[in-house]
Each structure stands twice: as structure tokens, then as C-alpha cells.
Amino acid sequence: MSTTATPRSAPTAAGRPAGAIDPRSPQLAAALTAVVLVAVLLLPSPANIVLLAVQAALFAVGAVRGVQATPHAWLFRTFVRPRLAAPTEWEAPEPPRFAQAVGLAFALVGLVAFLAGATVLGQVAVGFALVAALLNALFAFCLGCEVYLLVRRVTSTV
């Protein structure tokens, strides 16, 4: 379940709304993120801390600059997208960007917990991020995106 973009301006020559992204790109990013987070849970310290710090940095790029600016998006644009048919729907960039911020929050909680010696708390935080990444990677259900849309609906009616 992806969040389709509603055009705010005229479609581009490629037929996509301006600013919209291919929803398969964040799905690939989620799959790669899931692999990293599984490794974080399986590796001993300090390797898991270093890997989680790298993942937190990737989440930060997605949250601050947008998912289109991440290395995952570059991989998708360069190696995957040319081999696929055009998407049947487009996605607004704001929900995945919010999801990256949520992922960053969980990664930071996990990182601080691991550094403080609270291993179980770190594993739980990483586990929550892993579940969200797997939902997106396997079922195209972006939990953070859905939370974003829910918050938007609630705040727009208030």
C-alpha cells in the first residue's frame, strides 16, 4: 500500500506529477535497510554500533534532504529503474521523508542505548525499525507514511 501523489502542479513530460517519486525506490531502500538492521542485531559490539551509526546517517539524509537524495535512491535510479516499466502510480515525497525521520529516531534510540550498555533497549529499538522496513520491503506498506497521512488528516480537521 503506497501513498499516491496528488499533482500540485502540471505533470512533467514523463507523465509524473512534479516532485513525485517512484514508490518502488523507497521499497528498495527498505529492503536494503532491513538487511542492515538484521546485521545490527546479529553482529557483536562494536561492529553493530558502527553499522547502526551508518544506518542512522542514511536515515538522516533521507529525513533532511528527502528520499530522492539517498544513496539507495541513486542505486534505484542507476541500476534498477532502467530495467523496469514505468510505475502505474507516483508517490508524494513527504510521507517517505517523514518515515525516514521516524527511522532516524529509532536508530538514534538504539545507538544511544547500545552505547550506554542498555543492549535490550537497543535491540528493541532496532527491532521496531526492522519491522517497519520489512513491511515496506515485502508488502509495500510504509508504516511511517501511513502515520504521516493519519497525522495530516487529524491536524487538517482540527
Is pLDDT of 16 > 70?
yes
| Percent of the chain residues topping a pLDDT of 70 | 91
Summarised one tens digit per residue, pLDDT across range 89-115 is: 999 999 999 999 999 999 999 999 999
57 strand-pairing partners: none
Summarised one tens digit per residue, pLDDT across range 24-53 is: 999 999 999 999 999 999 999 999 999 999
Reported pTM: 0.89
The domains of the chain are located at 24-157
More confident: 158 or 62: 62
Show the CA angle centred on residue 133, arms to residues 127 and 135, nearest 5°: 105
Q: What is the per-residue pLDDT for 151?
A: 96
CA 82/CA 76 separation, integer angstroms: 9
Q: What is the per-residue pLDDT for 158?
A: 76
Alpha-carbon distances of 158 from 95, 146, 148, rounded to whole Å: 20, 19, 16
Alpha-carbon distances of 133 from 30, 32, 82, 146, rounded to whole Å: 5, 9, 24, 13
Identify the band that residue 81 occupies on the pLDDT scale cut at 50, 70 and 90: very high
Identify the band that residue 23 occupies on the pLDDT scale cut at 50, 70 and 90: very high
Cell output for 128: 521496531
CA 33/CA 158 separation, integer angstroms: 35
Alpha-carbon distances of 52 from 25, 82, 143, rounded to whole Å: 21, 30, 20
Mean pLDDT of the chain: 92
